[in-house]
Amino acid sequence: MNIKPSTPFPTAALIDGQWVNSPKTFAVLDPATGEKIADVPDLTPEDTKRAIDAAAKAFPAWAAKPAKDRAVILRRWFDLIIAETESLAQLMTAEQGKPIAEARGEVAYGASFIEWFAEEGKRAYGHTIPTTVASRRYVTIKQPIGVCAAITPWNFPIAMITRKVGCALAAGCTIVVKPSEETPLSAIALAKLAVDAGVPAGVFNVITTLDGPGCGKVLTADDRVRKLTFTGSTEVGRILYRQSADTIKKLTLELGGNAPLIVFDDADLQQAVAGTMASKFRNAGQTCVCANRILVQAGIFDKFVASLKEAAGKLVVAPGREATSTIGPLINGDAIEKVKSLLSDAVSHGAKIEMGGKPDDHGALFFSPTIVTGITDKMAIATEEIFGPVASIFRFETEAEAIRIANDTPFGLAAYLFSQNLSRAWRVAEALEAGMVGVNEGVFSNEVVPFGGIKQSGLGREGAQEGLDEYLETKFICLGGI
Ligand code: ADP
């Protein structure tokens, strides 16, 4: 069955509750076909400034609303998103390329953050602190931090927005979002449903632009923006971190990863293969938590590679709108070039292509699921994010060696290990330098657990109780003269 993209949603930006067009536009392309889906406004830095003005104006009333009242609106937003699952999924697949089944899954996953934070916002508790002086009492209260800015990537066009906006709005903040120029339509669709749900003008603004750096400069320079939340490359994260220094903004940065996935001799082979498939090939390998380095112990190595080949052989490369597709196109030509160059570097240093290794003839942006063995830490593929459907496999002998290789990276986002030995699983999970560790699981993110990295993978956590705190300030009140 072929599913056609339908776009019942606007193609304009949203500032202060108004749909905004501009004489200058840019095209959003379907990566599966290269065809244009829509034109969206290419807004200027002045427009970003207007969006901040709107968010600042809307902040006092939104912050003053009881969390319970904000939750009613957020719950309506959640319900509308769920009701529109099919049209949102089709839109996402059209502009991002992922298989339609994954797009539907992302709508549910993305919506879950709104449902969760609508409730969690009611639990922004402070403390009473036993006094040190008889005439005083001590309490803390939590207050929304203020106007926030979010800059988001293209790989999860809905979830990377709801994870930030759902939380910010629940906390009582207002927000200006700049979605990726590759996938602005999903962001606009979310904003439309937010308006329909009753989110007041100025509380949630969307700036579509090709000028990410120009928009980023305005967002970071403005003192009224008290928090910046960014998901994207470490390189751009560093720029935004630097730019935020002058106004001492609070930051959440979800940056690149280089996830190790370790398969020990005592792993359950089926579990390890299923976990590797899910971690590696989801979204055609284009997630920051995808297994980037698969480390397999010598005793299980041959069996694991053979089983992984068998499982990867069942993947269906096809445009995401085709119901059977499990591997869609990569996002753009640069992504294809990067995968090709990492593979040719690896092969030139002695790696062996076990499967795939070449573009797929469905179109310019499709790449065959690939398995490559003989990877060493001398190869670029071991240190750079692949962001494509390429499983790169190291061989190791001892637990200590696996931990050393796994931690030999400036990144620390996700890590995975497969072992049936509880002591080993616990020991290695503790030793891995990562913000998240999956034990016998290849995919684990959801709204109730904290997502985020250590080292150069970023700052802060999204989702869970920790996520709400990122949008709140703690105020200590000392009540004297008692
Ligand atoms: P990716 O390589 O995954 O696209 P990027 O870090 O380049 O990751 O992009 C993530 C987001 O950051 C996108 O919305 C992009 O437009 C935006 N962006 C890129 N460069 C800058 C910048 N200098 N300032 C602000 N935003 C930027």
Output the six-digit token pair for 93. 């697949």
Q: Return the DSSP state at 2.
A: B
Residue 7 falls inside a structural domain:
no
Cα 475 from Cα 5, distance rounded (Å): 48
CA distance 122 to 402: 44
Q: What is the C-alpha separation between 86 and 114, in angstroms, rounded? A: 18
Report the number of distinct structural domains present in the chain: 2
Give 225's pLDDT tier (boundaries 50, 70, 90): very high
- Size of the chain in residues: 482
Share of the chain above pLDDT 90, in %: 98
Q: Which region, left, alpha or beta, applies to residue 463 given φ > 0 means left and ψ of -120 to 50 means alpha?
A: left
Predicted confidence at residue 2, as pLDDT, reads: 39
Check whether residue 152 and residue 215 sit in a common domain: yes
pLDDT (0 to 100) of residue 90: 97
For residue 448, being part of any structural domain is answered with no
Q: What is the mean pLDDT of residues 247-263?
A: 98
Is the shortest distance between the CB of 221 and ligand 1 below 6 Å? no
Quick check: is 451 in a domain? no
Q: Which of 43, 180, 185 to mutate to test the pocket of ligand 1 (most atoms within 8 A of CB)?
A: 180
Give Cβ neighbours of residue 60 (< 8 Å, ≥ 6 apart).
none
Amino acid 82 reads I
Please work out whether the CB of residue 28 comes within 6 Å of at least one atom of ligand 1.
Answer: no
For the annotated catalytic residues, the residue numbers are 254
Structural domain boundaries enclosing 93 = 13-255+457-476
427 and 468 inside one domain: no
Q: How many CA atoms lie within 13 A of 67 on its CB side?
A: 20
Contact 169/116 with Cβ under 8 angstroms? no
Does the Cβ of 212 fall within 6 Å of ligand 1?
yes
Q: What is d(CA 105, CA 110) in angstroms, rounded to the nearest whole number?
A: 8
Q: What integer pLDDT is reported at residue 442 of this predicted model? A: 97
Find out whether 182 and 98 touch, Cβ atoms under 8 Å: no
Same-domain check for residues 290 and 163: no
Residue bearing tokens 């590759």: 182
Give the H or E element holding residue 458: strand 458-459
Q: Which of 144, 150, 171, 133 lies closest to 216 in space, CA to CA?
A: 150
Q: Residue 3 pLDDT > 50, yes or no?
A: no
Measured from the Cβ of residue 277, the count of other Cβ atoms closer than 10 Å reads 22
444 domain-assigned = no
My answer on whether 161 and 55 are in the same domain is: yes
Reduced to 3 states (helix: H, G, I; strand: E, B; else coil), residue 158 is coil
231 and 361 both lie in a single domain: no
**Residue 232 Cβ < 6 Å to ligand 1:** yes
Considering the domain architecture, whether residues 147 and 295 belong to the same structural domain is answered as no
* pLDDT greater than 50 at residue 5: no
Q: Is the pLDDT of residue 7 over 70?
A: no
pLDDT one-digit tens code per residue, 420-438 = 999 999 999 999 999 999 9
Mean pLDDT across 438-464:
97
Instruction: Tell me how far the alpha carbon of residue 216 lies from the centroid of ligand 1, in angstroms.
Output: 9
Three-state DSSP state, 436: strand
Both 274 and 238 in a single domain?
Answer: no
Helix axes 234-243, 212-221, angle to 10 degrees: 40
Residue 3 lies inside a defined structural domain of this protein: no
Residue 373 sits in a domain whose CATH number is: 3.40.309.10
Taking residue 85's Cβ as centre, other Cβ atoms within 10 Å add up to 16
What is the structure's pLDDT at 6?
44
Angle at 291 between CA 93 and CA 327, to 5 degrees: 30
Looking at the structure, do residues 315 and 195 belong to the same domain, yes or no? no
For residue 4, being part of any structural domain is answered with no
Condensed to tens digits (0 to 9), the pLDDT of residues 65-84 reads 999 999 999 999 999 999 99
Give the Å distance between the CA of 267 and the centre of ligand 1: 38
* Average pLDDT for 300-310: 98
SS3 231: strand
Which of 236, 249, 288, 337 to mutate for ligand 1's pocket (most ligand atoms within 8 Å of CB)?
236
Q: What is the CATH number of the domain that holds 124?
A: 3.40.605.10
452 inside domain: no
pLDDT category of residue 352 using cuts at 50, 70 and 90: very high
Which protein residue has the closest C-alpha to ligand 1 atom 19? Answer: 212
243 in the same domain as 275: no
Q: pTM for the complete prediction? A: 0.97
Per-residue pLDDT at 382: 96
Same domain as 21, residue 127: yes
Residue owning the nearest CA to atom 2 of ligand 1: 233
Q: Which atom of ligand 1 is nearest to the CA of 215?
A: 25
At residue 8, the pLDDT reads 72
Residues 343 and 373 both lie in one domain: yes
Average pLDDT over residues 430-450: 97
Spatial separation of the C-alpha atoms in residues 420 and 52, rounded to whole Å? 52
Report how far residue 200's alpha carbon sits from residue 120's, in angstroms, rounded to the nearest whole number: 20
What is the distance between the alpha carbons of residues 482 and 478, in angstroms, rounded to a whole number? 11
Task: Tell which atom from ligand 1 comes closest to the C-alpha of 236.
Answer: 6
Residue 426, in any domain of the structure = yes
Q: What number of other Cβ atoms are within 10 A of residue 366's Cβ?
A: 22
* Same domain? 331 vs 308: yes
